[in-house]
C-alpha cells in the first residue's frame, strides 16, 4: 500500500525557518518524481515545488523561489522541503504528492502556521 506521511510542521515566527519531511512507503521511491502542494486555510490548492527522481530537475512556484528548497534522500525514502524567511502568507497545510499521470497519491498533510 502506497503511503506518504508528512511531518515537521508547527507554529513558527515570521522570518524563521522550518523543514518538512515526507516519508514514502509501498512503492519504489527512487523511481518517481515528487511534489509539494499547499493549501491555505479555506483556500484552493497551490503547487509549491517539484523534484525529479534523481534530483536532476527541480522547479518552484514564484511565490517560494529563493526561500524554499526541495530535496530528497532516496536511501531514506524521504522527501524534504526546507523553508526559510517564512511569511504569514506561507501559512498552509502542506501536502506531498506522487505524480503518475496526475498526482495519484497524496499525504494527509502537515500544518505550518507562521505567526508572531
Partner 1 sequence: DIQMTQSPASLSASLEEIVTITCQASQDIGNWLSWYQQKPGKSPQLLIYGATSLADGVPSRFSGSRSGTQYSLKISRLQVEDIGIYYCLQAYSAPYTFGAGTKLELK
Residues that bind partner 1 (CB under 8 A): 35, 44-47, 50, 59-62, 95, 99, 101-104, 106-109
Q: Least Å distance between CB 10 and partner 1? A: 19
The minimum distance between CB 68 and partner 1, in angstroms, equals 13
H/E stretch holding 24 reads strand 18-25
The smaller minimum CB distance to partner 1, of residues 23 and 61, is found at: 61
Q: Is 114 helix (H, G, I), strand (E, B) or coil?
A: strand
Give me the DSSP letters along 27-93.
S-GGGS-EEEEEE-TTS-EEEEEEE-TTS--EEE-TTTTTTEEEEEETTTTEEEEEE-S--GGG-EE
Q: How far is the CB of 91 from partner 1 (least distance, A)?
A: 17
The residue (of 29 and 60) whose beta carbon lies closer to partner 1 is 60
CB-wise, 66 or 101, nearer to partner 1?
101
Whether 35 and 96 have beta carbons less than 8 Å apart is answered as: yes
CB 4 within 8 A of CB 99: no
CB of 13 to partner 1, least distance (A): 27
Amino acid at each position: 500500500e502506497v503511503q506518504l506521511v508528512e511531518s515537521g510542521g508547527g507554529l513558527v515566527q515570521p522570518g524563521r525557518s522550518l523543514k518538512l519531511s515526507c516519508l514514502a512507503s509501498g512503492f519504489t521511491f527512487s523511481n518517481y518524481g515528487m511534489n509539494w502542494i499547499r493549501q491555505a486555510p479555506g483556500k484552493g490548492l497551490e503547487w509549491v515545488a517539484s523534484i525529479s527522481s534523481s534530483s536532476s530537475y527541480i522547479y518552484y512556484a514564484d511565490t517560494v523561489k529563493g526561500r524554499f528548497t526541495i530535496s530528497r534522500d532516496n536511501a531514506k525514502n524521504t522527501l524534504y522541503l526546507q523553508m526559510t524567511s517564512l511569511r504569514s502568507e506561507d501559512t498552509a497545510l502542506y501536502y506531498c504528492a506522487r505524480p503518475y499521470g496526475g498526482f495519484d497519491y497524496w499525504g494527509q498533510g502537515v500544518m505550518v502556521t507562521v505567526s508572531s
